[in-house]
Amino acid sequence: DSGVTQTPKHLITATGQRVTLRCSPRSGDLSVYWYQQSLDQGLQFLIHYYNGEERAKGNILERFSAQQFPDLHSELNLSSLELGDSALYFCASSAGTGTGGYEQYFGPGTRLTVT
Amino acid sequence: AQTVTQSQPEMSVQEAETVTLSCTYDTSESNYYLFWYKQPPSRQMILVIRQEAYKQQNATENRFSVNFQKAAKSFSLKISDSQLGDTAMYFCAFTPRSYNTDKLIFGTGTRLQVFP
């Protein structure tokens, strides 16, 4: 158990819908990262938050957005869903500020299926 | 662009034998970090080993060790005394030392099967 929790574990929804994935980091970790793992794109970095501040964006679609709340949990919002958005979405957290290559602890992931 | 390449999509090894997984990366940075992550069938991502680029000494964690060749931009993982529980996808990952983010850039993975 990494100490990072993600809900829900599984999500099945239809094209065009909107979903919210939730992540609670390990106690004390201020950095939260979101990654997408799909069959054709592999593991891709989406976005990094540090203590509520957006630090970096990767290949995140405009239909996707995220935020980190004052209690440090984070949410990833996916809208106007397409079949190609079906993937495993990981949240990770670390004790780092974004500079030191700290270990990232991964949650169990949310499996999103768009039908 | 910073990229990570794992040229072996699949590998297999017999229990108790040694296997080496390859990884190369491309970056213009001089200071960075390299990682190997394991993803067993449960899909959980687990850190196996971490290497700091400015350290000459190769990292070791029990049966896992790396061969880090900075000039060649190579970072291979050696698993000694392979166990059935080592069966998993292995991802090589890179993060530059920066002032802003330590996002991970992953390779495409190597699927390792350990046979009894």
Residues composing chain A: 115
Nearest to A27 by CA among A4, A47, A49: A4
Measured between CB atoms, which of B47, B50, B108 is closest to A42?
B108
Q: Cα separation of B77 and A96, whole Å?
A: 25
* pLDDT exceeds 80 at position A49: yes
Q: What is the pLDDT of residue B96?
A: 82
Query: Residues A30-40: what's their mean pLDDT?
Result: 94
Q: Taking CB atoms and an 8 Å limit, are A103 and B50 in contact across chains?
A: yes
Query: Which residue in A has a C-alpha nearest to residue B51's C-alpha?
Result: A101
Residue tagged 């910073």 (tokens): B2
- Token pair, residue B59, equals 């990292």
Residue type, B103: K
Q: What is the pLDDT of residue B1?
A: 75
Q: Residue B89: which pLDDT band, with cuts at 50, 70 and 90? A: very high
Q: Cα separation of B58 and B52, whole Å?
A: 9
Measured between CB atoms, which of B97, B98, B104 is closest to A45?
B104
Which value, in Å, is the radius of gyration of the alpha carbons in chain B? 14
Q: Cis omega before residue A70 (within 30°)?
A: no
Nearest to B45 by CA among A96, A104, A59, A46: A104
Query: Residues B54-58: what's their mean pLDDT?
Result: 89
Q: Which residues of chain B make contact with A45, given a CB cutoff of 8 A?
A: 103-105
**Is the minimum CB–CB distance between B105 and chain A shorter than 8 Å?**
yes
Query: Which residue in B has a C-alpha nearest to residue A104's C-alpha?
Result: B47
Q: Taking CB atoms and an 8 Å limit, are A106 and B32 in contact across chains?
A: no
Q: Taking CB atoms and an 8 Å limit, are A108 and B44 in contact across chains?
A: yes
Q: Residue A101: which pLDDT band, with cuts at 50, 70 and 90? A: confident
**Residue B84: what are its φ and ψ, rounded to 5°?**
-55, -35
* pLDDT exceeds 80 at position A61: yes
